[in-house]
């Protein structure tokens, strides 16, 4: 539980009042809180299919990527990246959360009935996914998905 406690501290540190944030978060029946992006991290939000394929590529080249969230229904996946990434990101079809935006964040180490869950929970170290590596992984994942789709169409599948 030490890792989860450290992760809670790291995430709550971006809240306007970290102590109040932790108190509310621990008591919220949905196990979620709203946290501001843009100071300790930004979030790049990928469509689910591309997100899962990208995470697969990342986990083949990294021991552990930075934190990754997924929403209910697996429709969108959020990769935590260094602050400032959102303002510089040019990828088509990729949403960003940076300075001035807030995201729903589940409590680390606990399952949340709130629909948002951690695929890769934060470990409290502050480790984030390198945006250049994320972009390369997205390109590889998109190419693999396109090949799979084209193969399926060619065989009538």
Quick: pLDDT tens for 56-87. 999 999 988 999 999 988 899 999 999 999 99
Count of positions (residues) in the chain: 157
Alpha carbon distance 64, 19 (integer Å): 29
pLDDT-derived band at 30 (thresholds 50, 70, 90) equals: confident
Kindly report the pTM of this predicted structure.
Answer: 0.90
Contacts of 131 (CB under 8 A, 6+ apart): 44, 81, 82, 85, 89
Of 90, 70, 94, 81, residue with least CA distance to 37: 81
Of all residues in the chain, what percent carry a pLDDT higher than 90?
67
Which pLDDT belongs to residue 76? Answer: 94
């Amino acid at each position: 539980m030490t890792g989860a406690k450290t992760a809670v501290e790291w995430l709550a540190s971006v809240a306007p009042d970290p102590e109040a944030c932790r108190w509310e978060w621990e008591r919220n029946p949905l196990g979620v809180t709203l946290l501001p992006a843009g100071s300790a991290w930004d979030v790049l939000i990928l469509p689910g299919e591309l997100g899962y394929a990208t995470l697969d590529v990342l986990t083949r080249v990294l021991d552990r990527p930075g934190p990754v969230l997924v929403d209910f229904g697996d429709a969108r996946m959020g990769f935590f990246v260094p602050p400032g990434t959102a303002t510089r990101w040019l990828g088509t079809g990729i949403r960003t959360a940076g300075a001035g935006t807030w995201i729903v964040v589940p409590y680390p180490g606990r399952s949340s009935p709130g629909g948002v869950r951690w695929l890769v929970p934060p470990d409290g170290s502050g480790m984030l996914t390198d945006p250049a590596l994320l972009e390369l992984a997205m390109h590889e994942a998109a190419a693999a998905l396109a090949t799979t789709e084209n193969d399926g169409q060619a065989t009538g599948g």
